[in-house]
Structure 1
Amino acid sequence: MTRPASAAIAVYDTTLRDGAQREGLSLSLEDKLRIAHCLDRLGVKFIEGGWPGANPKDVQFFWELQQRPLQQAEVVAFCSTRRPGQIAGEDELLKALLAAGTTWVTIFGKSWDLHVVEGLKTSLDENLVMISDSIAYLRTCDRRVIYDAEHWFDGYLANPDYALQTLAAAIEAGAEWIVLCDTNGGCLPHQISEIVAAVLDRFPSLAPDQTGPQLGIHTHNDSETAVANAIAAVQAGARMVHGTINGYGERCGNANLCSVIPNLQLKLGYDCVETEQLMQLTATSRLVSEIVNLAPDDHAAYVGQSAFAHKGGIHVSAVERNPLTYEHIRPEQVGNLRRIVISEQSGLSNVLAKARSFGLDLQRNDPACRDLLARLKELESQGYQFEAAEASFDLLMREATGDRPHFFDLKDFHVHCSKQRQELNALATVKVAVTGRDILESAEGNGPVSALDAALRKAIGSFYPAVMQFHLSDYKVRILDGAAGTSAKTRVLVESSNGSQRWSTVGVSGNIIEASYQAVVEGIEYGLLLQQQAPLQAAEKP
């Protein structure tokens, strides 16, 4: 593989804004923060946090990140150019953009004359001034600017001279990145290559070997070519790639970074993230899918559960002799695992890999491995998934190794819900055994899960005062087999917090309340385990 000149690629993730526009996808503030820190660990250079002038939740996100800063990624606030006929310094959207407090900002402007005339209802000349005014003003406010040329490819095909004028306005005003956007997702790779080459011919200073502003690419998947289009643009000279984890986005989605990054790095020799960070790609994909509460695509390239799965016959025997016979890369390069579907050894390897990812060094000949494998297979056949439920998997491993603490036994519980004055009230009663004593307690909540959580913490609070600091920070429900109707199994994912730490647990049942109580009970149990470990960790510090 020949290493390309100017091989560094700036990966720009827009899952939190463009990805969140996918139909059926909704992110809470805490969801956005968790995903941002996950992307930061992956090594993404830029993380677009949202549009602070258009969404109050995004304003809170940027404030929260100041208290919980990222380690290496640049968080980016997003906005449009100023409105027609206004002064940039007086535009309310640009004021909100500046208030987000980010060093880098992205603004988008119109490239297509159709959008200028019919969308903005203004003149082509005024649109050029809007672009240059907005960028120049942001530069005077010490912001570094990424310019998204919206509908660039459609605009160029309709009126190339004017589209190129919009880029000239952005370059002259001081934008450091010029991002060409296939907003409608209708282009094919050969068109992308040809048009990027035309842009570089018109603006040689944008070439990768120059020191001035650089080119980026932002593609949508309406023609099922977003990944291929992004790669074509990079090969033609772009050095920033926009995309989302798992390809989430409006309509048919955006370029899938889970495919773009390994294709560029492993196949073409570009530097996107560190090698160790690339090995986190599969875990990142699955964690984000759990956070957004969408089922992961088992057959997704690189990161899917079936991406390196082999089922019997000649494939299996060949792969066992030499994996290259039926695998285009080593799955470990992207953090995935080879799966021989009918092989017990493959299952054991999965368990060992999972255990290592949680810091437990199990050996293949350890009897606990077999117990853990059997239990894991049983639970996963019931619908359990542990990628986003680290606490539940930690408890499962401790149970197999005989190291799981026993804090309490939940003997019985009842939940009663009623609706009064248009408000739903829930009352939960629990019977718990602690140190040989039976405790009966009840508590109310705004729903059955919160009531159950409150009753359980109340019952054991006098024995374990720390639980009074615990609270549920997130609760997600997924129907696993929708075709089964009301008898379908339900998976519940609960995130708990003690104010300084957060952990996730999972429960599965045909009854949503039972699935919830499983996750809630394990959440409290794990919180107590963390509390128990804290004094030991403090004592070990010099």
Structure 2
Amino acid sequence: MSRIQIYDTTLRDGTQAEDISFQVQDKVQIAKRLDELGIDYIEGGWPGSNPKDITFFHEIKKETLRHAKIAAFGSTRRAKVTPAEDNNIQMLIEAEPDTVTIFGKTWDFHVSEALRISLEENLELINDSLVYLKERVGEVIYDAEHFFDGYKANPGYAIKTLQAAAAANVDCIVLCDTNGGTMPYEIPAIMEEVNKAVSVPIGIHAHNDSECAVANSMMAVSCGAVHVQGTMNGFGERCGNANLCSIIPSLQLKLGKECLGEDKLKTLRSASRYVYELANLIPNKHQAYVGNSAFAHKGGVHVSAIQRHPETYEHIRPELVGNRTRVLVSDLSGRSNILVKAEECGIDLDSKDPVTLEILEDIKQLENQGFQFEGAEASFELLMLKAMGKLKHYFTVSAFRVIDTLRESDKAPVSEGTVKVKVGGKVEHTAADGNGPVSALDKALRKALISFYPQLGEVKLFDYKVRVLPAGQGTESVTRVLVESGDHEARWGTVGVSSNIIDASYQALADALTYKLYKDNI
């Protein structure tokens, strides 16, 4: 099995994505996690562009990495300036990385319009910048910016720029599809000419503007590339970069190219989620390999089949990348979905039991009303337990009220929730203020119940989503509320549906507290 070098540029290219900004400590933590994953190169940033990246290179030296090399990114020298006089080149060296990666112009259009120098002068600054760095840094990688566009515009000149880099004895030349417009079918012919022209190891750096970054990376490897650049979760400017969370398992499991090793590959999903967490972004549930929905099955025919042979509807075993098979329940569900879901929840349910059909009917009726259990598996588990008569009755809410009061014109309204609950013949009537009506209701409900069930003090509200369903018109539309709650051990989702948003919220909140009590075997 041949080995492919994986070069991660999440901390540089990834940070150029809209809505992403890492602090220095975030970048250090991500670098450590990528090192644990087994990534070969971690590009920390451009020390010549901003103080944050300079600080990163200083801070990462305090860490002991097991495997990865830290790379610094920059550009060739400026025209009319020698490498020794170029501040960007000097800062790359002063950062003391394991590897330096610089980019240069390949497209004659950029040479004449962006740099405004002659084509020959561009070849000189590529070569002498790399020669200078190669004499002072252990490893030097050259990124041929806009290579594919440059090759299609002027193939002869694009190849000359690669030869100028190869003459400097660089360790790898990376072909960049900077604008992301190259198609996979174009790669083989171009790669064939590159392999004839230079003997230096070749890499690929693809952007995703035409949704082909992963495909182009895979095609380049099949044509001889031994080095692949990309970002975790495909983060990057515009439409993003080649997604390493797709490339790595595809190379390893589909092409038989070693990247991380089997044990490391099993941690891919957790590494993906870790980067999402530090980026403060919601993970893409439909992401290939590592997404929550990557191995989720909804149709009854699918579920029945995967119970016998998972490969009928799964292209790999999800455990290979740290994921798992999930069975969803909806109005498309068959009896198999219910049985598998019951088994996941530790509930013994017989396929011939009338309760199974009853649960299936209930689900279809509830989804017709607007309920959705795909993100509210705790509510579904409670539904099953109720149908089987196995759910204890913990409390009854006989009344609740939420009031929003504007007390000062230049300040936000104050929300107050009032709740009356009954537990075992005892009535508790409480009120609480909150940051909005749902928060006030949540606090009042817990405050009323906590004297009976102290463990409810451990429950936290992590996420609250509202969706207006198209069943009604305007303000009369039906509202679905999804709530994610949790304690120190787990998280769970619950759902409520009503034409009244407060009532829908109450349903989801009440289910969340009920599930906590059930989970704790109260």
Asked whether the two chains share a fold, i.e. TM above 0.5, the reply is: yes
Residue 203 (structure 2) aligns with: 216
TM-superposition CA deviations, 1:387-406 (whole Å, max 9, x none): xxxxxxxxxxxxxxxxxxxx
Q: Secondary structure at the match of 1:186?
A: coil
Query: Hey, what does 2:309 align to over in structure 1?
Result: 322
Deviation at 1:295, TM superposition (A): 1.3
- Please point out which of 74, 88, 94 is paired with 2:89: 94
Matched AA of 2:270 = A
Q: Secondary structure at the match of 1:96?
A: helix
Correspondences of 1:211-360 after superposition (within 5 Å):
213-342=200-329
Give the distance between the partners of 2:246 and 2:304, measured in 1 at CA. 28
Aligned to 1:53: 48
1:303–1:336 Cα contact (<8 Å) kept:
yes
C-alpha distance in 1 between matches for 2:270 and 2:315 = 20
Checking the alignment, whether the CA contact within 8 Å between 1:81 and 1:134 is kept in structure 2 is yes
Does the aligned pair in 2 maintain the 1:312–1:340 contact within 8 Å?
no
Structure 2: give runs of 5+ residues left out of the alignment. 330-336, 347-372, 379-461, 470-479, 495-500, 502-522
Judged with a 3 Å threshold, the aligned counterparts in structure 2 of structure 1 residues 321 and 508 are, in CA distance, closer, same or farther, namely closer
How far has the Cα of 1:161 moved from its partner?
1.1
Q: What are the within-5 Å matches in structure 2 for residues 361-376 of structure 1?
A: none
**Shift in alpha-carbon separation, 1:45–1:350, aligned structure 2, 3 A:** farther
> Does the aligned pair in 2 maintain the 1:339–1:346 contact within 8 Å?
no
Distance in structure 2 (CA, Å) of the matches to 1:158 and 1:505: 56
| SS, match of residue 101 in structure 1 | coil
Q: CA 1:331/1:139 → structure 2, altered by over 3 Å: closer, same or farther?
A: same
Q: Which of 38, 60, 69 is the equivalent residue of 1:65?
A: 60
Query: In structure 2, which of residues 171, 185, 188 is the aligned counterpart of residue 190 of structure 1?
Result: 185
Aligned to 1:106: 101
Equivalents in 2 of 1:479, 1:30: separation in Å? 29
* Number of equivalent positions: 373
Give the secondary-structure state (helix, strand or coil) at the position aligned to 1:15.
coil
Distance between the aligned counterparts of 1:131 and 1:125, measured in 2? 10
Task: Find out whether 1:162 has 2:157 as its counterpart.
Answer: yes
* Cα distance change of structure 1 residues 32 and 115 upon mapping to structure 2, 3 Å threshold: same
CA shift, 1:345, in A, is: 7.7
Instruction: Please give the TM-score of this superposition, normalised by the length of structure 2.
Output: 0.66
Is the Cα contact below 8 Å between 2:377 and 2:492 reproduced in 1?
Answer: no
Structure 1 CA distance for aligned equivalents of residues 5 and 286 of structure 2: 27
Contact (CA 8 Å) 2:464, 2:483: kept in 1 or not?
Answer: yes
Instruction: Pick one of 167, 174, 192 that aligns with 2:169.
Output: 174
- Does residue 79 of structure 1 match 2:74? yes
Of residues 337-346 and 134-143 in structure 1, the stretch that sits farther from structure 2 once superposed is: 337-346
Give 1:274 shift.
Answer: 0.8
SS at match of 1:164: helix
Q: Contact 1:337–1:350 at 8 Å: present in 2 too? A: no
Shift in alpha-carbon separation, 1:36–1:351, aligned structure 2, 3 A: farther
Residue 381 of structure 1 and its aligned partner are, at CA, apart by: 4.0
What letter corresponds to residue 212 of structure 2 in structure 1? T
Higher mean C-alpha displacement, 77-86 vs 333-342: 333-342
In the aligned structure 2, how far is the partner of 1:327 from the partner of 1:481? 32
CA positional deviation for 1:291: 1.1
Q: Is the 8 A contact 1:13 1:46 kept in 2?
A: yes
- SS for the counterpart of 1:147 is strand
Task: After TM superposition, give the deviation of residue 30 of structure 1 in Å.
Answer: 1.6
Asked whether the equivalents of residues 465 and 481 of structure 2 are also in contact (C-alpha less than 8 Å), the reply is yes
Contact 1:338 1:346 in 2 (8 A): no
Asked whether the equivalents of residues 6 and 40 of structure 2 are also in contact (C-alpha less than 8 Å), the reply is yes
Give the letter aligned to residue 277 of structure 2: E
State how far apart, in whole Å, the 1-side matches of 2:144 and 2:241 are.
16
Aligned pair in 2 of structure 1 residues 292, 76: CA closer, same or farther (>3 Å)? Answer: same
Instruction: Provide the secondary structure at the position in 1 that maps to 2:167.
Output: helix
CA shift for structure 1 position 351: 8.8
Give the 3 Å change call, closer, same or farther, for CA 254–479 of structure 1 in structure 2. farther
Contact 2:147 2:176 in 1 (8 A): yes
Offset at residue 481 of structure 1 (A): 4.7
**RMSD over aligned Cα, in angstroms?**
3.3
- Secondary structure (helix, strand or coil) at the match of 2:131 reads helix
3-state DSSP of counterpart to 2:61: helix
Aligned equivalent of 1:140: 135
TM-score with structure 1 length normalisation?
Answer: 0.63
Instruction: Output the CA distance in 1 between the equivalents of 2:163 and 2:190.
Output: 16
Counterpart CA distance in 2 for 1:15 and 1:122 is 32
Q: Could you tell me how far apart the structure 2 residues matched to 1:11 and 1:146 are? A: 13
Cα distance in 2 between the residues matched to 1:504 and 1:102: 40
SS in 2 for 1:76: strand
Q: Distance in 2 between matches of 1:345 and 1:109?
A: 59
CA distance in 1, matches of 2:66, 2:188: 35
Q: Residues 72 and 348 (structure 1 numbering): CA distance in 2 closer, same or farther, change over 3 Å? A: farther
Q: Deviations over 1:403-448 (max 9, x none)?
A: xxxxxxxxxxxxxxxxxxxxxxxxxxxxxxxxxxxxxxxxxxxxxx
Picking from 9, 12, 20, the partner of 1:17 is: 12
- Cα deviation per residue 1:81-131 (whole Å; 9 max; x = unaligned)? 000010101110111111111121100000001111110111111111111
**Is the 8 Å Cα contact of residues 180 and 216 (structure 1) preserved in structure 2?**
yes
Q: Greater Rg, structure 1 or structure 2?
A: 2
Counterpart residue number, 1:426: none
Map Cα deviations across residues 491-528 of structure 1 (whole Å, 9 max, x no partner).
899xxxxxxxxx99999999xxxxxxxxxxxxxxxxxx
CA-to-aligned-CA distance 1:349-401 (integer Å, 9 cap, x gap) = 8799xxxxxxxxxxxxxxxxxxxxxxxxx9x7499xxxxxxxxxxxxxxxxxx
1:110 to 1:381, Cα distance in 2 relative to 1, 3 A: same
Whole-angstrom distance in 2 between the partners of 1:506 and 1:50: 35
Counterpart contact for 1:25–1:292, Cα < 8 Å: yes
Q: How far apart are 1:22 and its partner, in Å?
A: 0.7
Distance 2:63 2:343 in 1: 36
Residue matched to 2:454: none
